[in-house]
Structure formats: structure tokens, C-alpha cells
Amino acid sequence: MIPLISIPKKVVLASASPRRKELLTRMNLSFTVFPSHAEESGDELNSLSASDQACVLAARKAEDAASRLNQDCLVIGADTIVVKDGYKLGKPQNQEQGAAMLQFLQGGWHFVYTGVALIDRKINYRDTAWESTTVEMMKLTDDEIKRYTDSGEYRDKAGGYAIQGLAAAFIPGIEGCYFNVVGLPVHLLYVMLQKYLSFLDGRQSGY
């Protein structure tokens, strides 16, 4: 299958997320996975908006991977944050936290922000952008929350749920990009990759 867009360099995904890997594969891009070791917390993040925080963390992940690769490549980083009533939710550390997040999110709407970063250290190229999706979650009983968290699906998921998994039954509607909620806004990434190629073309043309 011919890819919609061809990148003339090695492409690296700085994430161990199987969901991001699957979505990037759907674009038929040739890439390798090189997970980031970047720190995903810090007091300096607390004062940032959710969109800015997602972009900062995405860039931090991409920069960490790029600095350890020491290769001529394009690195993609991403980070997802769930927000409701001004509270930012990352990944639950245990089942209790997962249940608390679902209890908080159920019965209303929340926002999902994903920041995406592209870094090419050889040409000093850095770009970040973000996508936002509004998600509705139905009212859940304590038993439904327990059954869901007992499944283990909450693990490593921002907000403690996976819209592409069992939690799909809890989501009556979304406004915006579905793939953003999964963890990688495909359209946004496509636009960013086009921008990157235009930058490369400009360099080659001498502009």
C-alpha cells in the first residue's frame, strides 16, 4: 500500500503506546518505536493550561528520544491529558485511582487534549501543536466502575479509560477528533508532517 505521505528520513515514534503505534501504522508510514524516558511530571507544569502542558510533555518526550538516538531522523512525541471542571487527569497509578477518575468523569462532558511534537535535531526543526475533543460519559454505577477497573483496561490510559475498548459502551457522544481520544490526532499529525516536508523542500531550494 502506498502511503499518503512519504518522509525522506527515518521516522521514530517516541512512545511505547500500542494505540499510537497502531494509528501511525494506519497511515502506512515506515517508522520505528523508541520509547521516551522523559519525566512526565513537575511543579512547573501545574500553572500551564492543559493544551500547553500536553505540548510541553510531547516535546519533552520527543527531545529525550532524539537526544539518545544521535541519528538523522524525525522524532514524533505525543502526550494526552483529560480535563474536567479545570482538573487535569493523567494516567491512574492503580485501580483505586482509576475508579476515582471514572467516578469523576461519569455523568457529564470532559475534554481530551493531545499535544504532538516533531523534532529533527540535525536541521534544528521543532514543531508542536495540539488537538482537543469533547467527550460525554454516561452516568455509571459503582458496579460498572468496579467491573471496568477489574478488567485492567484503565492502566496506562489518561483519564482511566480507553474509548476504543470496553469503555466505548460508556460514551454516548463526542465532538471532535475520535483518534485524538485514542491518543494520536491523525489529521493534525498529517498536517504537521506536510509542514515539515515543506520546510525540507524550502531548505533544498535554498529559500
In a domain, 158, yes or no: yes
> Strands 10-13 and 32-33: what pairing?
parallel
Output the domain CATH number for residue 154. Answer: 3.90.950.10
State the catalytic residue, choosing from 43, 52, 72, 79.
79
pLDDT value of position 38: 86
**79 has catalytic annotation:** yes
Per-residue pLDDT band for 2 (boundaries 50, 70, 90) equals confident
pLDDT value of position 53: 94
Report the distance separating Cα 2 and Cα 32, nearest Å: 18
In a domain, 1, yes or no: no
In a domain, 5, yes or no: no
Report the distance separating Cα 65 and Cα 12, nearest Å: 9
pLDDT value of position 192: 97
In a domain, 4, yes or no: no
Looking at the chain, the whole-number percentage of residues with pLDDT higher than 70 is 96
- The C-alpha cell that represents 111 in the structure block: 475534554
In the predicted structure, residue 39 carries a pLDDT above the cut 90 = no
Report the distance separating Cα 37 and Cα 70, nearest Å: 15
Distances 164 to 26, 126, 183 between C-alpha atoms, Å = 15, 30, 10
pLDDT (mean) for 52-73: 94
> Strands 32-33 and 87-89: what pairing?
unpaired
Window from 9-23, 28-42, 106-120, 137-151 with minimum mean pLDDT: 28-42
- The C-alpha cell that represents 112 in the structure block: 481530551
- 3-state SS string for 11-29: EEECCCCHHHHHHHHHCCC
pLDDT in tens, 112-134: 999 999 999 999 999 999 999 99
pLDDT in tens, 82-93: 999 999 999 999
Instruction: Count Cβ atoms within 10 A of the Cβ of residue 62 and give its class: 0-12 exposed, 13-18 middle, 19 or more buried.
Output: buried
Per-residue pLDDT band for 205 (boundaries 50, 70, 90) equals low
pLDDT (mean) for 154-181: 96
pLDDT value of position 204: 66
Q: Would you say 179 and 132 are in contact if contact means Cβ atoms under 8 Å apart?
A: no
pLDDT value of position 78: 97
In a domain, 3, yes or no: no
pTM above 0.75, yes or no: yes
Residue 77's beta-bridge partner residues? 117
pLDDT value of position 43: 67
Q: Where are the beta strands (DSSP E) in the chain?
A: 10-13, 32-33, 73-84, 87-89, 108-120, 125-137, 173-175
Per-residue pLDDT band for 193 (boundaries 50, 70, 90) equals very high
Q: Would you say 74 and 11 are in contact if contact means Cβ atoms under 8 Å apart?
A: yes
Which structural domain, as residue segments, surrounds residue 99? 10-205
DSSP state, residue 165? T
pLDDT value of position 122: 93
Mean pLDDT of the chain: 93
Task: Indicate the number of domains in the chain.
Answer: 1
